[in-house]
Amino acid sequence: MNEQDKYLFDLRGYLVVKNALSEDQVSDLSDRLEQHRSDNKRVFGSDRTRYPEGARSSWSASSLLEWGGSYVDLIDLPSIAPYLEALLGPDHRLDHDYIKIDNAANSHKLYLHGGGQGAGGATDLVGPTDGGQCYYRYNNGKFYNGLVAVGFELDTVPPGHGGFACIPGSHKVNFELPRDWKISETQQDVPQCVDRVEAEAGDAIIFTEACAHGTVPWQGDGERRTIFYKYCPHAVAWSPCYYNADRYGELSDRQRAMLMPPSAFGGPNEYSRKIWERVQADHAELERLREELAAAKEA
Ligand SMILES: O=C(O)CCC(=O)C(=O)O
């Protein structure tokens, strides 16, 4: 993260990283999404955890990581890692993931949420219930963020069609977001202080959840498919569910550390790693016993 990126992030609360994904990665992510898309669901992933039909344990909640390939590579992508390290410190964790699809059939109003230091106010989607975790500050040469979102764009969105929107600078604001600006039913209603951020397929938009943000109502043909991976400092948790690193195939040590459940001791810390290895081993044993029991019942 260079000097200009730091300046712009502190000023505006977001950055666009051009070509964060290679063309091959965009096609792999896109192909795997399309394989899972037959029911035209609008949102996939671990955000707002749901248990699929027949889920047998608390670690059956669905996550994009189960789709494999580039979805696993996104956990610790070399083009994004230096930004996360600067914005969250070296020991951060992936908290949740999801894909959002905007098109003519799935166009929704702009609902600005977040908005620095609880400034979203009492009716905000994240502000009142997050226990103060929707924070941003820069102190003694370090960024502090309660949640950093990375939105990977799979499609180039022509100007005026839709996309990410935010009030630049609102991550530092001291006043509540004016009620009339929170919701815009159409593009024409979007307040002038809102930035509509343009991005092409393969770009990533990195933003702090403390910046008031949302999605511009879709207008036009085609669609926007965006993958969100959201990261926090190791001691912070947003999602009520954690990742079970045993479920996503071969992972690097860094990836495993980034999937660790929260604790004030960072992911690579031997003490917390041992505790969670034990939880995972207990879980694997439970699965095995359940299978044995099911087989015995059938026999
Ligand atoms: O559509 C977007 O890029 C914004 C999504 C959003 O509001 C969120 O992830 O909280």
pLDDT digits (tens, 9 = 90+) for 65-98: 999 999 999 999 999 999 999 999 988 999 999 9
Residue range 3-298, CATH number = 2.60.120.620
- Given a cut of 90, is residue 238 above it in pLDDT? no
Tell me the whole-structure pTM to 2 decimals.
0.93
Give the distance (Å) from ligand 1 centre to CA of residue 215: 6
Q: How far is the CA of 228 from the centre of ligand 1 (A)?
A: 8
Is the CB of 96 within 6 Å of ligand 1?
no
Whole-number pLDDT of residue 150: 98
Per-residue pLDDT reduced to its tens digit, 12-31:
999 999 999 999 999 999 99
215 lines ligand 1 (CB under 6 A): yes
Q: Whose CA is nearest to atom 1 of ligand 1?
A: 215
Which is the closest atom of ligand 1 to the Cα of 114? 10
> Which of the four pLDDT bands, split at 50, 70 and 90, describes residue 108?
confident
Task: Give the Å distance between the CA of 283 and the centre of ligand 1.
Answer: 33
pLDDT, residue 128, reads 57
- For the chain, the three-class secondary structure string (H helix, E strand, C coil) is CCHHHHHHHHHHCEEEECCCCCHHHHHHHHHHHHHCCCCCCCEEECCCCCCCCCCCCHHHCCCHHHHCCHHHHHHHCCCCHHHHHHHHCCCEEEEEEEEEEEEHHHCCCEECECCCCCCCCCCCCCHHHCCCCCCEEEECCEEEECCEEEEEECCCCCCCCCEEEECCCHHHCCCCCCHHHHEECCHHHCCCCCEECCCCCCCEEEEECCCCEEEECCCCCCEEEEEEEEEEECCCCCCCCCCCHHHCCCCCHHHHHHCCCCCCCCCCCHHHHHHHHHHHHHHHHHHHHHHHHHHHHHC
Q: How far, in Å, is the centroid of ligand 1 from the Cα of 113?
A: 9
* Ligand 1: nearest atom to the Cα of 205: 3
Per residue in 37-69, pLDDT tens?
Answer: 865 566 677 776 777 777 777 777 788 999 999
Residue whose CA lies nearest to ligand 1 atom number 5? 214
The verdict on the CB of residue 261 being under 6 Å from ligand 1 is no
